[in-house]
């Protein structure tokens, strides 16, 4: 190794010192600890005892954890399904009609607002007695709906509220992907006399696939971690209707102080997210575009 | 395809877009409308587009400017609340987080982008894997750490995990610094400048635009953070706005919620971000478009 290289190494370590300290102390070490704690009965109050895979066996037989998984999947399917379709529509509309970053900016605004704020505003607007949405529904003769208060509507409601927050963001990412498609491709299709729908199905969508894959991985992984909205509105209820995984783990850890079990559930959640990301990238063959 | 056909199509497209913009903006107006209303008038007049019984009472109430009797008479919960204090806590913690994170992440990015040392790319990859870790995965041990350090309910606990780096910040700055031409540095080195000097006098000034963008994103993210301060910062002295909103909501009586007060507090929490957005919206739009396709 040359002296110059060693010199760079010493400087590099100095420059990395603060970030490295933060990385080890608040990311790497705690991540390893969570793995370790998941094999213990740690309860915050007493020192941890090794219990082997007991927490994982408990999780398998935990009906409420099963329910939490189901509820979360229902949330993700509604949230991501509606969001992706509408965002795709918005992105295509913006691409065809206006390049104005003002319009893109307006649609992005909700994404910058805190989840908690968004949740409370919609909690007011969707209130069964005084909410404006129910007032509008009553004008067309629909009885008031307790959006957050009924087991059948609570999860779809929370899912759609968060579609409102993330729509502009998702549309913006897809829009960026659309701009990367060369004009000549469209012109060729137009000369062939293809209809708008044919062009969309045959040209836009296939060429957009790598971008869609990335967007889906990003949004699905984020969607699985739904917590804030639930925590300030339904708190898991009614009954267990909105007790999503993140909230369930939070309750186990910080209300029942069952840290060992909560750690095991976190590991399971992490495994699910990692598996999903890999599977999605495979399925959508993210690396290759039909442009190549 | 006839011109009339495309004209109609365009009009329909614009109508859909306009409707979506309306749905996007209406809740912001509604927040303002309810916060300027009187709770009793609201109950009688839930669906007028203008504030019901126009008053600033809700803002006085949540800022702790009204006496408890006044607050109760207006339909407040009667608990003493001081969103001025919570606003200050949010400003303080978000500012600290942004300052530390931007500086230290840029330093790390410099080491990853501009220096040559064995193992560099492997270490960078390890940093990046942290992007995949859900916050709850590290939250439990981090909470225990804060408790053991006796830092629960201090600003330090709220700030520390985000103060030194985030994987995104390091990644974002590295991407930019990779693109700076080597010649600039070489010239400075010939003049005898060391690495700290090159970093602070040349690289950082050249990175003004991405630094500003990163600072903006870091500030908004810190401002909106709920989960971590909920765990370590429940105490009234250090409570930030998001946590305070959650507490306010859970204290408000089921039967007759203090909607005006709740929306006034919500608006206070949203206003700084809306202001930042009004000032720097274009920069934010461009940066998300940029980082999204990377």
CB B222 within 8 A of CB B238: no
Residue whose token pair is 């209707």: A241
Query: From CA B167, how far away is CA B264, in angstroms rounded?
Result: 35
Distance CA B214, CA B170 (A): 10
Q: Which residues contact A208 (CB under 8 A, 6 or more apart)?
A: A174, A177, A178, A181
**Contact present, A65 and A272 (Cβ < 8 Å):** no
Question: pLDDT tens digits for A84-133?
Answer: 999 999 999 998 888 788 888 899 999 999 999 999 999 999 988 888 99
User: pLDDT tens, A260-283?
Assistant: 999 999 999 999 999 988 888 787
> What average pLDDT does this structure show over A190-209?
83
pLDDT at B3: 47
Asked whether the beta carbons of A29 and A244 are under 8 A apart, the reply is no
pTM, entire model: 0.90
pLDDT number for residue B293:
41
Cβ contact B108:B200 at 8 Å: no
Q: B106-126: per-residue pLDDT in tens?
A: 999 999 999 889 989 999 999
ipTM of the complex: 0.90
Place of tokens 């978000």: B94
Q: Is the preceding peptide bond at A238 cis, omega within 30 degrees of 0?
A: yes
Contacts of B163 (CB under 8 A, 6+ apart): A22, B96, B97, B100, B101, B104
**Which of A112, A172, A207 to probe the B interface (max B CBs under 10 A)?**
A112
CA angle B132, B134, B138 (to 5 degrees): 110
Across residues A37-53, what is the average pLDDT?
91
Contacts of B270 in chain A (CB under 8 A): 113-114, 117
Contact A15 B110 (CB under 8 A): yes
A19, A235, A246 member nearest B165 (Cβ):
A19
The residue behind tokens 């913690």 is B93
Chain A residues in contact with B122 by the CB 8 A cut-off are none
Q: Looking at A11-15, A282-286, B100-104, B135-139, which range is the least confident one?
A: A282-286
Note whether B44 contacts A: Cβ–Cβ < 8 A: no
Tokens at residue B283, please? 């920069």
Return the CA Rg of chain B.
Answer: 24
Written as six digits, the tokens of B263 are 């929306």
Alpha-carbon torsion (B177, B182, B184, B190), positive or negative: positive
- What are the chain B neighbours of A263 within 8 Å (beta carbons)? 140
- Let me know: does A33 contact A262? Beta carbons within 8 Å: no
Q: Which residue has the tokens 């209809």?
A: A195
What pLDDT is attached to residue B2?
A: 42
pLDDT tens, residue by residue, B21-41: 999 999 999 999 999 988 888
In sequence order, what are the residues at sequence separation of 6 or more whose Cβ sits closer than 8 angstroms to the Cβ of residue A146? A128, A153
Helices (H), B114-193: 120-129, 135-148, 155-163, 167-178, 182-190
- Give me B155's structure tokens: 């600003």
Query: For residue B294, what pLDDT is reported?
Result: 37
d(CA B31, CA A122): 9
Which residue from A250, A255, A264 is spatially nearest to A55, judged by alpha carbons?
A264
Most B-contacting residue of A121, A179, A224, A226 (CB-CB within 10 A), to test interface = A121
SS3 B256: coil
CB B159 within 8 A of CB B97: yes
Residue B179 CA, chain-centre distance (Å), reads 28
Q: What is the DSSP string of A203-253?
A: IIHHHHHHHHHHHHHHHHHHHHT--HHHHHTTTT-STTTT--HHHHHHHHH
Give the distance from residue A189's alpha carbon to the nearest chain B alpha carbon, in angstroms.
14
For residues B174-186, average pLDDT: 86
The reply to whether residue A20 touches residue B108, judged by beta carbons under 8 angstroms, is yes
C-alpha closest to that of A246 among B19, B120, B226: B226
């Amino acid at each position: 190794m040359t002296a110059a290289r060693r010199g760079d190494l010493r400087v590099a370590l100095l420059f990395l010192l603060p970030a490295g300290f933060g990385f080890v102390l608040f990311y790497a070490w705690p991540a390893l600890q969570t793995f370790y704690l998941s094999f213990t009965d740690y309860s915050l109050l007493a020192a941890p005892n090794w219990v082997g895979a007991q927490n994982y066996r408990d999780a398998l037989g935990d009906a409420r954890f099963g329910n939490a998984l189901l509820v979360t999947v229902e949330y993700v399917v509604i949230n991501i399904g509606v969001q992706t379709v509408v965002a795709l529509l918005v992105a295509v509309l913006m691409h065809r009609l206006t390049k104005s970053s003002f319009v893109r900016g307006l649609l992005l605004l909700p994404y910058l607002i805190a989840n908690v704020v968004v949740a409370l505003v919609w909690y007011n607007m969707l209130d069964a007695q005084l909410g404006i949405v129910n007032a509008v529904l009553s004008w067309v003769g629909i009885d008031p709906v307790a959006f957050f208060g009924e087991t059948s509507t609570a999860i779809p409601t929370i899912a759609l509220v968060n579609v409102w927050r993330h729509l502009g963001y998702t549309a913006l990412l897809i829009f960026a992907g659309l701009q990367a498609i060369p004009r000549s491709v469209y012109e060729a299709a137009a000369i062939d006399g293809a209809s708008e729908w044919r062009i969309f199905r045959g040209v836009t969508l296939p060429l957009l696939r790598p971008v869609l894959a990335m967007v889906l991985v990003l949004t699905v992984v984020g969607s699985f971690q739904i917590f804030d909205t639930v925590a300030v509105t339904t708190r898991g209820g009614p009954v267990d209707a909105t007790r999503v995984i993140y909230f369930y783990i939070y309750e186990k850890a910080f209300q029942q102080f069952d840290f060992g079990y909560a750690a095991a559930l976190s590991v399971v959640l992490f495994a699910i997210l990692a598996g999903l990301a890999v599977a999605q990238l495979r399925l959508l063959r993210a690396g290759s575009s039909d442009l190549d | 395809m006839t011109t009339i056909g495309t004209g109609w199509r365009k009009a329909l497209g614009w109508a859909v877009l306009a409707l979506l913009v309306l749905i996007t903006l209406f809740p912001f107006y509604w927040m303002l409308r309810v916060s300027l209303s009187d709770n009793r008038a609201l109950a009688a007049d839930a669906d007028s587009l203008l504030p019901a019984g126009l008053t600033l009472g809700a803002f006085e109430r949540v800022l702790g400017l009204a006496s408890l009797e006044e607050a109760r008479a207006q339909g407040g919960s009667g608990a003493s609340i001081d969103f001025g204090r919570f606003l200050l806590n949010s400003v303080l913690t978000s500012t600290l987080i942004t300052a530390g994170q931007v500086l230290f992440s840029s330093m790390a990015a410099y080491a990853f982008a501009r220096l040559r040392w064995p193992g560099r790319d492997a270490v960078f990859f390890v940093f990046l894997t942290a992007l995949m870790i859900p916050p709850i995965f590290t939250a439990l041990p981090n909470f225990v750490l804060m408790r053991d350090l006796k830092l629960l309910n201090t600003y330090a606990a709220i700030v520390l995990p985000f103060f030194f780096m985030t994987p995104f910040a390091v990644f974002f700055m590295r991407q930019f610094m990779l693109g700076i031409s080597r010649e600039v540095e070489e010239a400075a080195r010939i003049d005898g400048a060391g690495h700290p000097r090159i970093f602070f006098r040349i690289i950082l000034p050249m990175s003004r635009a991405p630094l500003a963008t990163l600072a903006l994103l870091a500030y908004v993210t810190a401002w909106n953070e709920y989960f971590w301060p909920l765990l370590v910062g429940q105490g009234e002295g250090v409570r930030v706005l998001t946590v305070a909103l959650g507490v306010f909501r859970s204290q408000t009586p089921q039967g007759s919620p203090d909607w005006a007060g709740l929306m006034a507090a919500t608006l206070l929490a949203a206003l700084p971000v809306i202001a930042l957005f009004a000032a720097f919206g274009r920069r934010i739009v461009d940066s998300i478009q940029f980082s999204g396709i990377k």
